[in-house]
Amino acid sequence: MDLSIAQNWFFLVIALVIVAASLVVVTSRNVMHAALMLVGALAGSAGLFILLGAEFVAGVVVLVYIGAIIVLFLFGVMITRVPIGQSHNLDHANRWPALVVAVGTFAVMAGSSVAFFGDEEIYNTAAVRTSDIGDSIFSRFVVPFEVVSFVLLAALIGGIVLARKDADT
């Protein structure tokens, strides 16, 4: 079997998994089911990065998005004591007009992208090594890296303070 044909089939399967999981995320009435399907969609995007030969980016997607963001989301849902079951407040009368607007917006964006960039050529550039990325993060960009870490820490502490119930109130 030709390798490019196998890659196309793997791409098709992974893309279908991503689309199906994403549809469940936006249509699910259960927050936990939506979070688990988001894990599936993000895992599929990591699979696409592996198909592209970007194993480092796939690892970052798994570590940062699946390992940290989803866990933080589930932690926030559980600590705020939000009802985890089905929510009937999520059904809105404007669901179908919103779908029409979303499909129309997608059609306009896709059409304009093809019209403006359809005949552009893709240039092959030199691959960036993972060690070069690590060197630049911890040498040239160490201050922005630390600033972002403090902002994330402040957001985490603020979320915990806001979600915590005091015994006095």
Position 3 confidence tier, pLDDT thresholds 50, 70, 90: low
1-91 has CATH 1.20.120.1200 classification: yes
Name residues whose C-beta falls within 8 Å of residue 137's C-beta, 6 or more positions apart in sequence. 145
Q: Residue 21's CB: how many other CB atoms inside 10 A? A: 20
pTM: 0.59
In the block, which residue shows the tokens 């630390």?
146
Q: Which of 24-28, 48-52, 72-76, 101-105 has the lowest mean pLDDT?
A: 72-76
The pLDDT of residue 127: 73
Report yes or no: 88 and 28 within 8 Å, Cβ to Cβ.
Answer: no
Task: Check: CB of residue 15 under 8 Å from CB of residue 48.
Answer: yes
Least confident of 56-60, 79-83, 108-112: 79-83
- Residue 53 scores a pLDDT above 80: yes
Q: Which residues of 120-150 are buried (b: 16+ CB within 10 A; e: fewer)?
A: eeeeeeeeeeeeeeeeeeeeeeeeeeeeeee
CATH 1.20.120.1200 range(s) for the chain read: 1-91
CB within 8 Å of 92: residues ≥ 6 apart: 98
Q: How many residues does the chain have?
A: 169
SS3 101: helix
CA 7, 8, 12, 15: dihedral to nearest 10 degrees?
60
Closest among 92, 10, 84 to 51, alpha carbons compared: 10
Please report, for residues 12, 60, 110, 129, the alpha-carbon distance to residue 66 in angstroms, rounded to integers and kept in the order given. 22, 9, 29, 23
**Does residue 40 or residue 5 have the better pLDDT?**
40
Tokens of 167: 């015994």
pLDDT at residue 1 above 60? no
